[in-house]
């Protein structure tokens, strides 16, 4: 069973846990069976890779926004990070191996500057040796282990080993792997697999991991080693091999036919970062951000291929395909309390057309003081512009700003009381469009400051534009996935006191990257940073709403602040800008009205209690290997979800459910297991966040009646 939980005006917002990091490349566990070939040839680096490494170090030192010397301190951090990137679960290396490598800790900088990559390759060779030995040992032990696992014991497996030490020796490593294999077997047992099926599946995984290990080449090692260095500067700086250069920012539908999902590696899993608006996955409603893809199948009947541990580019190639064809994905849903919860979904591949990502408008009707009000809503899924058509002089070129301007005119013709600009899930896009869109709502002045690595500060736009297109009441709705260009727009509206910003704290991606050609591959490098007109950066902190709604995301897992080595928040000088309305002065009253309204609202009650359940699930750092305990945990989780859903339904006068399965055929049902703000009374679903944004807009109408002051103010504005 899969629930569509998108929170837009016609649907519910997805529970999206995050955007994560990194370029850690684990090796593969698949389910195709072949004979195991263990003979391995030595891997060495080339002269081209030596020159490329020196180029990367030179560019990082000279051009990266962060002035960071590659010396002994960074060499030591690189040493630790490279080991973790090779073995994120701390299950192959032992402390004895780490001690053996210690001679490299403070010399990596000196050797890399000379183009000597031998330390990285020697460490990898030991890793490959240990991995091969471990996998062969696992294969030998499976026939004995699987039938004899005692699932009545109260064993537990630590799921987060990041703060734990490396196994002291092979005996400790053996004990760890015993639990890892038992956990995998129990997950399959809970999925109703027999012992014979469990042994076959696990054998295929280990056999194919050995095969894939033998296929590793110098380019794979080189990429892991260089990215271990690049990520120490910031999470958006990375080395792209010639192969991965083709998949820059891997967006599988804007340039190639696919499902329209942006993917990223997280330890051994392929995780969904976000969905491309109007893409096949987005339209299906079956795939959600933070879902983990564990297997891929072609068409309706081809065998599912396990992709746990695969390289990102390999998973992407499997998912891509011709328009109109089907791909099946086996996923661990974002809301799953344990890794044994699997779902198989089918998506038809297609391309995303620009017009399908266009801004769209709608009207919601609300009652205040017994009077009916119409609120205009403009959904902006991304900041887009057809640069080619614009350069050709086509007066009808497509852009966010042109579309929003037309929608504003249409809404005003329908006499709306105000407008909500909905930027939820908007991951950014064109900086030019973010600036242009802001100018529809303010008379003049810059919208963003850009500070470069050489400390030069540019202000955009550079020329003055007078006369706002829309001067009526407005609010901006954001969430944790509102990033980059969305943050620039929301921050400018907030700094000018032109409108209220509502929702959840934004992502906090306030940096700019460039792509540089190298002798071999490319370097994606952070070269500048965004700052608000009030002086604070959008980096790390993001935009903090004037009125915050219950947060769907765990800030420790989602957003820029959750990424290792993210650049910090700081300030530069504010610039003179206008101050339109006395919004700050009236915030306490608006917040009080909001809190009074949502205190007894069934959807907000459900949301708060659902978040508490999710936080309880997130706090689990150990998984039980006791079968009865695991089955009871699953039963309890479902019962808690059902109780929450029925509490909400009772408050809304809806039918009570006997089981969550009833929601499949219940037109009035929402998404109890995945969506903490679900609520529908008919096929015309309502969005509680959007409804409340409209109510706050009505509350603030008197404030928008009078412009208080258009006298430019400078550095006295508070930085939120």
Point out the residues that are catalytic. 484, 495, 509
In degrees, rounded to 5, the angle at the alpha carbon of residue 701 between the alpha carbons of residues 696 and 705 is: 155
Rounded CA separation 373/362 (Å): 14
The beta strands (E) that lie in 223-289 are given as 238-240, 261-266, 269-275
Rounded CA separation 497/571 (Å): 19
Rounded CA separation 697/441 (Å): 16
Omega before 600 within 30 of 0, i.e. cis = no
Give the contacts of 716 (CB within 8 A, at least 6 positions apart): none
Rounded CA separation 525/569 (Å): 18
In degrees, rounded to 5, the angle at the alpha carbon of residue 478 between the alpha carbons of residues 492 and 361 is: 95
Q: CA distances (Å), 35 to each of 206, 207, 210, 483, in order? A: 11, 7, 10, 47
The two structure tokens encoding residue 273: 């970062």
Adjacent-strand bridge partners of 238: 524
Would you call 578 helix, strand, or coil by DSSP? Answer: coil
Rounded CA separation 304/196 (Å): 18
Rounded CA separation 571/531 (Å): 7
Rounded CA separation 226/345 (Å): 36
In degrees, rounded to 5, the angle at the alpha carbon of residue 332 between the alpha carbons of residues 331 and 336 is: 150
Q: CA distances (Å), 422 to each of 80, 96, 313, 482, in order? A: 42, 54, 33, 10
Rounded CA separation 199/588 (Å): 62
**Interhelix angle for 400-413 vs 431-438, to 10°?**
30
Adjacent-strand bridge partners of 431: none
Rounded CA separation 227/238 (Å): 6
Query: Which helix (H) or strand (E) is 327 found in, with range?
Result: strand 326-332
The two structure tokens encoding residue 42: 């030595």
């Amino acid at each position: 069973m899969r629930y569509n939980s998108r929170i837009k005006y016609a649907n519910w917002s997805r529970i999206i846990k995050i955007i994560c990091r990194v370029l850690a490349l684990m090796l593969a566990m698949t389910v195709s069976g072949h004979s195991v070939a263990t003979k391995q040839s030595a891997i060495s680096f080339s002269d081209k890779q030596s020159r490329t490494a020196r180029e990367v170090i030179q560019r990082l030192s000279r051009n990266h926004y962060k002035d960071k010397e590659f010396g002994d301190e960074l060499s030591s951090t690189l040493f630790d990070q490279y080991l973790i990137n090779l073995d994120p679960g701390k299950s192959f290396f032992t402390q004895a191996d780490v001690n053996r490598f210690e001679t490299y800790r403070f010399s990596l900088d000196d050797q890399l500057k000379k183009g000597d990559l031998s330390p990285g390759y020697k460490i990898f060779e030991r890793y490959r040796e240990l991995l091969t030995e471990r996998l062969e040992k696992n294969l030998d032990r499976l026939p004995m282990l699987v039938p004899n696992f005692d699932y009545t014991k109260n064993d537990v497996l630590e799921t987060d080993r990041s703060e734990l030490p490396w196994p002291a020796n092979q005996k400790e490593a053996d004990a760890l792997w015993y639990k890892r294999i038992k956990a995998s077997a129990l997950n399959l047992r809970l999925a109703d697999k027999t012992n014979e099926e469990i042994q076959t599946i696990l054998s295929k995984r280990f056999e194919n991991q050995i095969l894939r290990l033998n296929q590793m080449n110098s380019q794979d090692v080189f990429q892991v080693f260089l990215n271990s260095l690049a990520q120490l500067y910031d999470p958006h700086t990375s080395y792209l091999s010639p192969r991965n250069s083709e998949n820059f920012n891997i967006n599988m539908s804007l340039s190639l036919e696919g499902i329209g999902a942006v993917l990223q590696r997280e330890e051994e899993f392929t995780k969904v970062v976000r969905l491309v608006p109007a893409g096949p996955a987005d339209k299906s409603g079956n795939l959600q951000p933070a879902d983990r893809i564990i297997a891929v199948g072609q068409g309706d009947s081809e065998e599912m291929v396990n992709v746990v541990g695969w390289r990102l580019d390999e998973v992407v190639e499997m998912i891509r395909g011709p328009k109109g064809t089907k791909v099946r994905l086996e996923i661990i849903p974002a809301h799953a309390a344990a890794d044994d919860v699997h779902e198989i979904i089918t998506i038809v591949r297609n391309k995303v057309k620009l017009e399908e990502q266009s801004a769209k408008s709608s009207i919601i009707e609300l009652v205040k003081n017994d009077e009916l009000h119409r609120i205009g809503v403009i959904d902006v899924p991304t900041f887009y512009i057809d640069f080619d058509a614009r350069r050709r002089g086509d007066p009808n070129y497509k852009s966010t700003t042109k579309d929003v301007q037309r929608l504003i005119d249409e809404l005003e013709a329908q006499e709306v009381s105000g407008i909500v600009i909905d930027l939820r899930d908007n991951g950014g896009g064109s900086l030019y469009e973010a600036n242009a869109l802001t100018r529809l709502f303010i008379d003049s002045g810059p919208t963003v400051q850009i500070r470069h690595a050489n400390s030069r500060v540019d202000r955009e736009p550079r020329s003055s534009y007078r006369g706002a297109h829309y001067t009526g009441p407005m609010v901006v709705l954001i969430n944790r996935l509102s990033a980059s260009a969305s943050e620039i727009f929301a921050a400018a509206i907030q700094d000018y006191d032109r409108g209220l910003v509502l929702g959840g704290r934004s992502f906090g991606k306030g940096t700019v990257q460039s792509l540089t050609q190298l002798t071999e591959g490319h370097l994606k490098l952070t070269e500048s940073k965004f700052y608000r007109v009030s002086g604070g950066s959008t980096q790390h902190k993001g935009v903090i709403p004037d009125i915050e709604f219950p947060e769907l995301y765990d800030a420790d897992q989602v957003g820029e602040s959750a990424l290792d080595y993210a650049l910090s928040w700081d300030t530069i000088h504010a610039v003179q800008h206008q101050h339109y309305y006395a919004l700050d002065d009236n915030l306490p009253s608006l917040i009080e009205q909001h809190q009074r309204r949502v205190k007894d609202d069934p959807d907000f009650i459900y949301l708060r209690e659902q978040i508490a359940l999710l936080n309880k699930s997130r706090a689990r750092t150990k998984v039980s290997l006791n079968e009865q305990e695991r089955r009871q945990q699953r039963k309890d989780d479902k019962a808690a979800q059902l109780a929450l859903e029925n509490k909400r339904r009772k408050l809304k006068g809806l039918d009570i459910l006997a089981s969550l399965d009833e929601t499949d055929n219940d037109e009035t049902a929402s998404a109890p297991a995945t969506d903490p703000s679900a609520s529908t009374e008919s096929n015309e679903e309502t969005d509680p966040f959007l409804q409340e944004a409209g109510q706050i807009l009505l509350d603030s109408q008197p404030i928008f009646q009078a412009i208080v002051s258009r006298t430019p103010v400078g550095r006295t504005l508070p930085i939120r």
